[in-house]
Amino acid sequence: MQIIRGDSYQSWIYSNRSDLVVVDPWLTDKQVFPGLNWLLYREANEEPHILKHNLISQVSHIIITAHFSDHLDLPSLKLFPKNIPIFTTIKSFNLLSKNGFLNITVVQPGNSYKVGSFSLEVLKAGKPYETTTFAYLLSEKNSKVFHEPHMFNSDMKFNNIDACILTLDKVKVLNLVQVSMDINQSSKALTKLSASYILPTGIAPKKTHGLISYLLAIKENYNLSDHLPCACKNVGDSLIL
């Protein structure tokens, strides 16, 4: 299994045999809140790995972890065939099906799915996202990677993970509801999972702009992670498990 950082924010790519699986792809110059650009937006500062290497036609499956616009970027998804297999939430299903996508699997925590040569085990996300998003464990033979885009669910029972994809930059809404883990929380999750590597995701949340950004209390720690076993820090960086 090869893990590749897809962009400078939070997209990921998994490669194995003839399978190329992308997670939350963002391939446009600007990621916006649908119909309300002024509410929330983020501009790309690097070319996505998939576009740089002309890989769209090679993508075999898509995983979308949430229906939020920074995970489900519809203009990016429209670059893929309508029958490409997509694994996602019920809210994402409703939006995707309205836009003509035909091969959508609504995942449920506790269930496992075959994604080409990979096995996808869907897990319950941490609060406050436990009903709207999901975490997952993707495995192939003896290689395992865990991905939680927001808050780690401390009730997880498994460990001995090769790599975990977690946030390092703390974000709170109205300085009350935490929606992204800080470096200390992720370090504890790394230890609990007995993971060999941590791959930072949700990088540099201060690059998100718009009205909603003024409601966010952000503490960025990404550049303070040298003491952690970090991998895939830059777009196109890869880790082979």
Say if CB 137 and CB 121 are below 8 A apart. yes
* Residue linked to tokens 């937006």: 41
Q: Going by C-beta distance under 8 Å and a sequence separation of 6 or more, which residues neighbour residue 1?
A: 14, 15, 16, 118, 138, 140, 143, 145, 240, 241
pLDDT over threshold 80, residue 222: no
Q: What is the pLDDT of residues 33-57, one digit of tens each?
A: 887 888 889 999 999 999 999 999 9
Q: What is the pLDDT of residues 122-151, one digit of tens each?
A: 999 999 999 999 999 999 998 999 999 999
| pLDDT score at 131 | 93
At 62, list the tokens: 């898509």
Residue ranges making up the domain that contains 223: 2-240
pLDDT over threshold 80, residue 171: yes
| pLDDT score at 225 | 79
| pLDDT score at 237 | 98
pTM of this structure: 0.96
| pLDDT score at 201 | 97
**For the chain, how many structural domains are there in total?**
1
CATH code for the domain in which residue 144 is found: 3.60.15.10
pLDDT over threshold 80, residue 223: no
* Residue linked to tokens 């939070």: 10
pLDDT over threshold 80, residue 78: yes
- Banded model confidence at residue 203, pLDDT cuts 50, 70, 90: very high
Cite the beta strand spans of the chain per DSSP E. Answer: 2-5, 12-16, 19-23, 30-32, 41-43, 61-63, 86-88, 104-106, 112-115, 118-124, 134-140, 143-147, 163-167, 170-173, 177-180, 197-201, 208-209, 216-219, 238-240
Q: What is the pLDDT of residues 143-168, one digit of tens each?
A: 999 999 999 999 988 888 999 999 99
Please list the residues that pair with 208 across neighbouring strands: 42
